[in-house]
Amino acid sequence: MAAGAVTLRHVADAAGVSVSTASRALAGKARQYRISQQTERSIRQAADRLGFRPSHVARSLRSQKSGLLGVLVPDVANPFFSAVAREVTAAADARGLSVLLADSRETTGNEVTLLEQLQSRQVEGLVICPVGDEGEHLKQLADSNIPAVLVDRGFADVRLTTVTTDHRAGAYEVTRTLIEHGHRTIGCLQGRPGTLPNEERIAGCRDALRDAGLTFSRRLVRGDRFSEESGYESCLGLLDEVPDVTALFTFSNQIALGALRALQERGLSVPDDLSLVTFDDHPFAGFLAAPLSTVRQDVARIGRTAAELLMEQIQTGRRPRRRLHRIPAEFVLRTSIGPRP
Amino acid sequence: MAAGAVTLRHVADAAGVSVSTASRALAGKARQYRISQQTERSIRQAADRLGFRPSHVARSLRSQKSGLLGVLVPDVANPFFSAVAREVTAAADARGLSVLLADSRETTGNEVTLLEQLQSRQVEGLVICPVGDEGEHLKQLADSNIPAVLVDRGFADVRLTTVTTDHRAGAYEVTRTLIEHGHRTIGCLQGRPGTLPNEERIAGCRDALRDAGLTFSRRLVRGDRFSEESGYESCLGLLDEVPDVTALFTFSNQIALGALRALQERGLSVPDDLSLVTFDDHPFAGFLAAPLSTVRQDVARIGRTAAELLMEQIQTGRRPRRRLHRIPAEFVLRTSIGPRP
DNA sequence: ATGAAAGCGCTAACAT
DNA sequence: ATGTTAGCGCTTTCAT
């Protein structure tokens, strides 16, 4: 082991004391154990001189505490998840914990395996952004007493603390706004069907249509993944089969991108031919050819909330009473929404 | 420890064998040690039934191998760094290793501390994206024999394997293109001065100007951080003090964003009033009001290369002969570059 | 005021 | 074909 050539034993020998004394002195318990100032100093000096770095591994084994938090996401390179990772990392750091990062690459199979690995490493808590199509393994996790928080794609039937955007309210506001602009045929380019964010958003759309006395149609909901490709294809399909569509609500930035490409190909312009609005704000959203209206998820707050709830669980050893935490989203109206052509 | 109530001891007892036999059977060494099929089966069953999960901590202590890789970045939420994290995570996963993620929040002080913590955890290798303004601690790391790879903001005088974009070539091409379009007064909105990427990019600009018989002027280089704010302020300053500037080369997406805001405020349009080109491509770059010309860094390849070089070091125990690996960047010409007004 | 010894859970060298 | 034992590096009782 490159790092750990020098152990407590070496320090103790160098200072002419026993390992126990060295351990106590270095742990700042000199007073408590009435170790003489001189002894303490010589121990510290020896440690410094030898470049002693205590082994976290040994410490973990002895104390039965790994000092590790697990963060499991479907794709760290996705800005949403990397923001979550950042917040959890910051919170962990502030408490002297470290973060084990795992990336399931949007595959539930990997998620299951990685989850087991993280538990093997005795993580003291978990923040999981599930892939979202299957939650059996998470139910098991819920039955264990290991502190865990789900973020974003939670499950209605998994009894784990969950932090997610108030997707329903966000989608409601988007749809209401489109209706106010005169739109009646609104296409939804959705993400992965069955996931909590997706279904909540659809519910929000349905509510808004109903409240306006309009009817919701499944025919207007297209797409199957939170990806550029899905956005592109579902947009083309929708334009072909429902030519009177006048507004598009895309469920992610990637999907919006695909839709933009499709619209460009068809020579349609925003907002003159079609209005466009998407979930997920973006630094460049305001500088687009058609400044894009968006629903801005408060990723930082989501991550922070998840981290806090996890820390609370770790400290108290109990799950917080409230299970589902909905973080408000902010609707950002830009000129990509226009009146019905 | 929630996870680890059940240890090898329990499994062994349940199967009526010794811990060593249980260990061997579970490690798949039944054949090698000629453990009877029956015994093996009963051990495996006991393990399953009890939900045995081996302790990585104990294993690490015993084997002196943590199975851990450290990834240290200035900001995981920055797409560049999260892409690196993703590649390293994937490579680690493929080899049964796990990744410890640390975020220095763009502060060298944190970087030093986190680096020590990672070493305390006996990481078997490190991928570091340094903050970049100070490298003393990295020199120390280079003196140790712990495998490590630097990414992006390397240091000329730190003898560690470094993977970074060919910033110089990228900047050269940008500048040459601007010159070809007739521009003579080209402003550079730089990032953090003194960092390798920044200085290499400036060198690239200087080379291109020189090769075109033009002179490079420090007066045209503004800004002090890779941030939106720095881009905004330096852009305004440049416009005020060098009113005849006709092209802007921003050193990051964030800086470009600040510049766009400044230009918008001044009522200047791209490319009619000024041409604009930036380092770092972006999914939305082509859909901007002025489709943005960019230098696309191959982040995936950078991350993968870093991971591979690290794995090579870990396996061979030696540093690769070549120290600096420059990954080519791709210049993406869009309409934000026009002729000199 | 300090040391000796046990033990965290695992693996492997050394017995049978 | 399987058991016994030592030991990884640390913390913490229990003895002086």
Cα–Cα distance for residue pair B120/B128, rounded to 1 Å = 16
Q: Do the strands B221-222 and B247-250 form a parallel or antiparallel pair, or are they unpaired?
A: unpaired
For A83, the closest of B53, B77, B85 (CB atoms) is B77
Chain centroid to Cα A180, Å, comes to 33
Query: What residues pair up with A127 in beta bridges, in sequence order?
Result: A71, A149
CB contact under 8 A, B98 and A121: yes
CB contact under 8 A, A145 and B253: no
Q: Please give the structure tokens belonging to residue B186.
A: 């080209």
φ/ψ (deg, to 5) at A255: -65, -40
Q: Does A289 touch chain B (CB under 8 A)?
A: yes
Q: Looking at beta carbons, which residues of chain A come within 8 Å of B60?
A: 57
> Is residue B133 very low, low, confident or very high in pLDDT (cuts 50, 70, 90)?
confident
Query: What residues pair up with B293 in beta bridges, in sequence order?
Result: B277
How are strands ordered across the β-sheet holding B148-151?
Answer: A324-327, A161-165, A148-151, A125-128, A68-73, A98-103, B98-103, B68-73, B125-128, B148-151, B161-165, B324-327
At residue A120, the pLDDT reads 87
Q: Is the pLDDT of residue A4 over 60?
A: no
Rounded to the nearest angstrom, the minimum Cα separation between A175 and chain B is: 24
CB contact under 8 A, A99 and B101: yes
CB contact under 8 A, A76 and B76: yes
Contact B231, B254 (CB under 8 A): yes
Angle at the Cα of A194 from the Cα atoms of A192 and A196, rounded to 5 degrees: 95
* Chain A nearest-CA residue for B143: A2
Q: Is the CB of B19 under 7 A from strand D?
A: yes
Cα–Cα distance for residue pair A319/B246, rounded to 1 Å = 60
> Is residue B321 very low, low, confident or very high in pLDDT (cuts 50, 70, 90)?
confident
Residues in A 29-88 whose C-beta is less than 7 A from nucleic strand D are 52, 54-55, 58-59, 61-63
Helix (H) or strand (E) holding B19: helix B19-26
Contact B283, A285 (CB under 8 A): no
Q: Is the CB of B26 under 7 A from strand C?
A: yes
Residue ranges of A 128-187 with Cβ closer than 8 A to chain B: 144-146
Please report, rounded to whole angstroms, the spatial distance between the CA atom of protein residue B2 and the C1' atom of nucleotide C1: 38
Helix and strand element counts for chain A (H, E): 12, 12
Task: Give the gyration radius of chain B's Cα atoms.
Answer: 26
* A92 exposure class (CB count in 10 Å sphere: 0-12, 13-18, 19+): buried
> Is residue B221 very low, low, confident or very high in pLDDT (cuts 50, 70, 90)?
very high
Residue with tokens 């938090």: A69
Residue with tokens 């005169």: A182
Beta-carbon count within 10 A of B31 CB: 10
CB contact under 8 A, A61 and B64: no
**DSSP classification of residue A288:** B
Q: Does B246 touch chain A (CB under 8 A)?
A: no
At residue A138, the pLDDT reads 96
- pLDDT tens digits, residue range A171-223? 999 999 999 999 999 999 999 999 999 999 999 999 999 999 999 999 999 99
Q: Please give the structure tokens belonging to residue B152.
A: 């992006």
Q: Does B105 touch chain A (CB under 8 A)?
A: yes
Q: CB under 8 Å to A71, separation ≥6 — which residues?
A: A84, A85, A88, A89, A99, A100, A101, A102, A126, A127, A128, B101
Q: Is the pLDDT of residue B80 over 70?
A: yes
* Least confident window among A18-22, B34-38, B249-253: B34-38
At residue B237, the pLDDT reads 98
Helix (H) or strand (E) holding B15: helix B8-15
φ/ψ (deg, to 5) at A171: -65, -35
Q: Is the pLDDT of residue B3 over 70?
A: no
Contact A250, A200 (CB under 8 A): no
C-alpha distance from residue A238 to each of A76, A178, A184, A233 (Å): 31, 18, 15, 9
Residue with tokens 């004394």: A21
Rounded to the nearest angstrom, the minimum Cα separation between A326 and chain B is: 22
At residue B125, the pLDDT reads 96
Mean pLDDT rounded to a whole number for chain B? 94
> Is residue B2 very low, low, confident or very high in pLDDT (cuts 50, 70, 90)?
very low
Rounded to the nearest angstrom, the minimum Cα separation between A125 and chain B is: 10
Rounded percentage of chain B residues whose pLDDT exceeds 90: 88
Cα–Cα distance for residue pair A116/B311, rounded to 1 Å = 24
Q: Is the CB of A34 under 7 A from strand C?
A: yes
* Least confident window among A95-104, B138-147, B238-247: B138-147
Chain centroid to Cα B182, Å, comes to 35
Nucleotide nearest to B53 (CA to C1'): C9
CB contact under 8 A, B53 and A102: no
Q: Is the CB of A55 under 7 A from strand C?
A: no
Q: Is the CB of B108 under 7 A from strand C?
A: no
Three-state DSSP state, A221: strand
- pLDDT tens digits, residue range A113-140? 999 999 989 999 999 999 988 999 999 9
At residue B4, the pLDDT reads 47
Q: Does A215 touch chain B (CB under 8 A)?
A: no
Q: For the residues B242-256, what does the mean pLDDT come to?
A: 97
At residue A121, the pLDDT reads 92
CB contact under 8 A, A55 and B61: yes
Alpha helical stretches, state H, chain A: 8-15, 19-26, 37-50, 56-63, 79-94, 108-120, 136-143, 167-180, 196-211, 228-241, 253-265, 299-316
Q: Is the pLDDT of residue A34 over 90?
A: no
**Which of B305, B295, B309 lies closest to B327, judged by CA?**
B305
At residue A93, the pLDDT reads 94
Rounded to the nearest angstrom, the minimum Cα separation between A240 and chain B is: 23
**DSSP classification of residue B168:** H
Contact B55, B19 (CB under 8 A): no
Count Cβ–Cβ pairs < 8 Å, chain A vs chain B. Answer: 166
* B260 exposure class (CB count in 10 Å sphere: 0-12, 13-18, 19+): buried
Angle at the Cα of B327 from the Cα atoms of B322 and B332, rounded to 5 degrees: 165
Q: Is the pLDDT of residue A282 over 50?
A: yes
Helix (H) or strand (E) holding A276: strand A275-279
For A64, the closest of B1, B102, B114 (CB atoms) is B1
Q: CB under 8 Å to A290, separation ≥6 — which residues?
A: A269, A270, A271, A276, A335, A336
* A148 exposure class (CB count in 10 Å sphere: 0-12, 13-18, 19+): buried
Q: CB under 8 Å to A24, separation ≥6 — which residues?
A: A30, A32, A33, A35
**Which of A78, A151, A87 lies closest to B83, judged by CA?**
A78
Q: For the residues B59-76, what does the mean pLDDT come to?
A: 95
Q: Does A76 touch chain B (CB under 8 A)?
A: yes
Query: What residues pair up with B161 in beta bridges, in sequence order?
Result: B149
φ/ψ (deg, to 5) at A169: -65, -40
Mean pLDDT rounded to a whole number for chain A? 94
* B278 exposure class (CB count in 10 Å sphere: 0-12, 13-18, 19+): buried
Cα–Cα distance for residue pair A265/B108, rounded to 1 Å = 47
Q: Is the pLDDT of residue A230 over 50?
A: yes
Nucleotide nearest to B7 (CA to C1'): C9
Q: Does B287 touch chain A (CB under 8 A)?
A: yes
- pLDDT tens digits, residue range B172-220? 999 999 999 999 999 999 999 999 999 999 999 999 999 999 999 999 9
Q: Does A3 touch chain B (CB under 8 A)?
A: yes
Cα–Cα distance for residue pair B235/B248, rounded to 1 Å = 9
Chain D nucleotides covered by protein, CB below 7 Å: 1-5, 7-13
CB contact under 8 A, B120 and A56: yes
- Rounded to the nearest 10 degrees, the angle between the axes of helix A253-265 and helix A228-241 is 50
CB-side neighbour CA atoms (13 Å) of A184: 5
